[in-house]
Structure 1
Amino acid sequence: MSEHIPPGTAWYSLPSPFPMKRGGQLHGARLAYETWGRLNADASNAILILPGMSPDAHAAHSEADPRPGWWDWMIGPGKPIDTRRWFVVCVNPLGSCKGSTGPASIDPATGQPYRLRFPELSIEDMADAASHLVRGLGITQLACVVGNSMGGMAALALLARHPGIARSHVNICGAARALPFSIAIRSLQREAIRLDPHWNDGQYDDQAYPETGMRIARKLGVITYRSALEWDGRFGRVRLDPEQRDDDTPFGLEFEVERYLEGHARRFVRAFDPNSYLYLSRSMDWFDLGESHGGDVHAVLATLTGLRQALVIGVKTDILFPIQQQEEIAAGLRSAGCQTRFLAMPSPQGHDAFLVDEARFGPALAEFLHTVPLHAHDPGKVA
C-alpha cells in the first residue's frame, strides 16, 4: 500500500535518530506540512494546526494545490483564520500515510515498507515531531496552536512537553485522555481490520487488500462522528428505491442510511493505509495527559502557566469525545491562570461539527484570534 501525498506538500526532516516515547527510534523520518500566509519579521504570527486522525496537511487550497482543503472555509484571506494576518502551518501527524513517516513509509534499513516493524506510536511522538517542525521553520513561539479531535490531544501534549511553545491555544472536540467508550469503538475498528484475512498480519498489497475490514472500521467511525439527531433528521427511515437494492444479497442494503455509510466507506478504504489506521487508533487509546502525575489530568494542565489565552470548544451531541472532556480541559487551563473561554456548541452534527458547522465555529475562532496578540510582547485583548 503506497502513501497518499497531496501535490502541494512540503517536508521537514526530523532529527535522526528520532526517539519514540514507547521505545524504538526512526531514522530519516519526515513530516508533511503545508503553509499559508507569510511569516512576519520576528516570526511571531505563526499558527500551527494539528488535525484529526485521517486528514492530510491540505487544510486549505493554495497556488501549489488549488483543490479545496478539509478546512477551506476556515483558512484564508478574510476568513476566520485570516492569512492576511497569520502564517498558518498544518502538519500531517507522524504515523499517518499522507506524507509523514508512518507504517506505509519505506524503512531505510530494509528498503521495504515498515508495516508492523514501525515502532509503537504515541500522541506524544506526534507532539515532539511537531515541535521540531516549528523550531525548524524558525519559530521560537507560536501565536496559537489549534488542535481538532486527535489533534486536540496532540496539542495538549505539545504544550505540556514543550513549555512556552505557544502563547494561546484552541482545543476543538479534543480530550486530555481516552475514555472507555472511545477505546471500545476503536478496538472494534481495529478488530475488523485485523480479522480480515487479507490483512495478513500487515503484509497486504493492492491486489490482496483488507477492504472489508477497512469498510467496517470506517462505518463504525462515521457512526460515532455524527449524532443520532443528525442521522434521524438526515435519513429518517427512508428506504432505497427497488432498483437501488441488491435483492440477490441476503440482508443487503435496504435503507438510505445504509447506502450512505457504504458509499462513504468505499471512498475511504483505498485512500488510507490500514496499518497506519491501526497505529493512529491505538495511539489515541494510550493517551492520558495525566499519566506522569498519577493519572491527574488537572494537575498537568495546571502546570501550563506560560499559556496566556485559550478557547475550548465542545459539541453537546458529540458521543466520541463527549463535552465533559472539553469542560475538563477548560477547567484545568483556568487553574493554570490561563484566560480560558469554553463554548458548548449545540450543533446537531456531533463530533464532526467543526468540519461542517461554519455558522458556529467560524465566528468563534475569528473572535478569539482577534484577541490574540500579533507579537509576543503585546498584551492580549479581552474578547
Structure 2
Amino acid sequence: MREFIPPATRFIDLPAGFAMKRGGALYGARIAYETFGRLNAARDNIILILTGLSPDAHAASHADDPTPGWWEVMLGPGKPIDTDRWHVICVNSLGSCKGSTGPASIDPDTGEPYRLEFPELSVEDIADAAAFTVRALGFERLACVIGTSLGGMSALALLARHPDLARSHINISGAVHALPFSIAVRSLQREAIRVDPQWNQGRYDAENYPRRGMLTARKLGMMTYRSAQEWDSRFGRARLSPDRRTDEEQFGLEFEVEGYLDFHAHRFLHRFDPNSYLYLSHCMDQFDLGDSCGGTADEALSRLRLEKALVIGVQTDILFPLRQQRKIAEGLSASDADVQFLSLESPEGHDAFLVDINRFGPPVAKFLSVDW
C-alpha cells in the first residue's frame, strides 16, 4: 500500500466521525489541497477545482512546487483560469491515494492501512469533504466551482447539497449519472484488478502487487479516454520497431498503439493505489444526481441556485458522451441560471480538456473574464 503525495500538498482535517453516505464514518481523516493565486481584499475571487479519478491537488506549478501540474495548460498567470485574478483551490478527492484519506491511508484504530475496511465511498462523500475544506479555509462563498469528469459529478453533488456555496459553475465532460457503456468498462477494470492473484482481497504490498491487473485496467481506461478517430490519425497500422518490442513472446506487443497503451499503463503502476482505483471507479458507477436529491436529475438540476454556468462536452467522448453534458445544460436552464452549452469537435475524446487547450481555453477564459 502506498500514497503518492506531491511535496507542496496542504491538508485540512475532517471532523471526527465524518459520516459517509452509505454507512460508516471516518476518524482522523484529512483532505489534501493546493492553492494558486492570491486572495483579493473582498475575498470573492475564489475558484474550487474538483478533479477526475486519478489527479492529485497539484493542478499547476507554483513557487512551492515548480513541477508542471496535471492542468498546467489551463491554470496559471495569464492562462484561461488566470491566477493573476483568481485564488484557486484544488482538492484531491476523498478516497484517493494522493494525500486525502483513502484505502491506502492508515486507519488510526489499527495502525495499518484501511485496505477494504475503508467505508464504501460515494460521490456525495467527495462533495461533502470538498465543501468542508472550503469552509475550513474560511470561505463561505465561491465565485465558481469547476468540475472535470468525476469532478463534474462531484461538483453537481456539491451544488445540490451545499446550495449557497457557489455563484457559478463550469462543468467539463461531466454527467448526472454513468451510462451502461461506462459502467461496463469500469466493471471490467475492477475485475482485472480483483482477479489478479496478487490483489489478495486488497492485502497486497510492494513485493506482492497486482501488477498485471493494474496494467490491464489502465489500458482499458486509456482506450476510453481518447477516441478511435485519434487512434487512426495518430497510429494507423504502424508497427513497433524491433528495438522497441518489450518481449518476443507469441502474440506480444506488435503495433504502435499497443506500445502506447503499454507505456502509459506502466507509468500508472507507480502513481496510483489499486484499492483506491476500485473505490473511486465504483463510486462513479453508483452516483445518480436524481436519486441523491430524492427525485429526477432534471428536478435536481433545476433547483440548483447558480447565477450562470458553462457546460462543455466533446463530440468524440465515448466515456461521458456529449448527450450527458447536453442534459446538464438543459436541466440547469430550467433554473434561473444563465447557461451556455458548448459542443466541441476535438479529436482527443474524453481527455481533450487536458490537452486540447486551443479549444477548451478560450471559452473557459471568456466565462471567467466577465465582471461579476
Q: Same fold (TM over 0.5)?
A: yes
Q: Deviations over 1:164-183 (max 9, x none)?
A: 11000000000011111100
Change over 3 Å in CA distance of 1:13–1:337 after alignment to 2? same
Aligned with 1:113: secondary structure? coil
Residue aligning to 2:301? 301
The alpha carbon displacement at 1:248 in A equals 3.2
Residue aligning to 1:141? 141
Q: Distance in 2 between matches of 1:336 and 1:208?
A: 52
Residue aligning to 2:336? 337
User: Which amino acid in the other structure matches residue 213 of structure 1?
Assistant: G
User: Which amino acid in the other structure matches residue 161 of structure 2?
Assistant: R
Aligned with 1:11: secondary structure? strand
Change over 3 Å in CA distance of 1:293–1:147 after alignment to 2? closer
Structure 2 stretches of 5 or more lacking a match? none
Q: Deviations over 1:302-346 (max 9, x none)?
A: 111x20000000000000000000000000101012100000000
Aligned with 1:112: secondary structure? coil
Residue aligning to 1:350? 349
Residue aligning to 2:271? 271
Contact 1:288 1:295 in 2 (8 A): no
Q: Distance in 2 between matches of 1:372 and 1:137?
A: 25
The alpha carbon displacement at 1:73 in A equals 1.5
Q: Distance in 2 between matches of 1:272 and 1:83?
A: 28
Q: Distance in 1 between matches of 2:109 and 2:42?
A: 40
Residue aligning to 1:46? 46
The alpha carbon displacement at 1:292 in A equals 4.2
Contact 2:160 2:293 in 1 (8 A): no
Q: Distance in 1 between matches of 2:281 and 2:245?
A: 33
Q: Deviations over 1:94-143 (max 9, x none)?
A: 00000000000000000000000000000000000000011011111100
Change over 3 Å in CA distance of 1:101–1:247 after alignment to 2? closer
Aligned with 2:38: secondary structure? coil
Change over 3 Å in CA distance of 1:245–1:73 after alignment to 2? closer
User: Which amino acid in the other structure matches residue 123 of structure 1?
Assistant: V
The alpha carbon displacement at 1:270 in A equals 2.1
The alpha carbon displacement at 1:242 in A equals 2.8
Structure 1 stretches of 5 or more lacking a match? 374-383
Q: Distance in 2 between matches of 1:260 and 1:198?
A: 25
Q: Distance in 2 between matches of 1:356 and 1:364?
A: 15
- Judge which range, 99-108 or 246-255, deviates more: 246-255
Contact 2:146 2:152 in 1 (8 A): yes
Superposition pairs for residues 1-383 of structure 1, below 5 Å?
Answer: 1-245=1-245, 248-292=248-292, 296-304=296-304, 306-371=305-370, 373=372
Q: Distance in 2 between matches of 1:26 and 1:294?
A: 25
Contact 1:60 1:72 in 2 (8 A): yes
Contact 2:240 2:255 in 1 (8 A): yes
Matched positions, count: 372
Q: Distance in 1 between matches of 2:290 and 2:359?
A: 31
Contact 2:14 2:129 in 1 (8 A): yes
Contact 1:43 1:140 in 2 (8 A): no
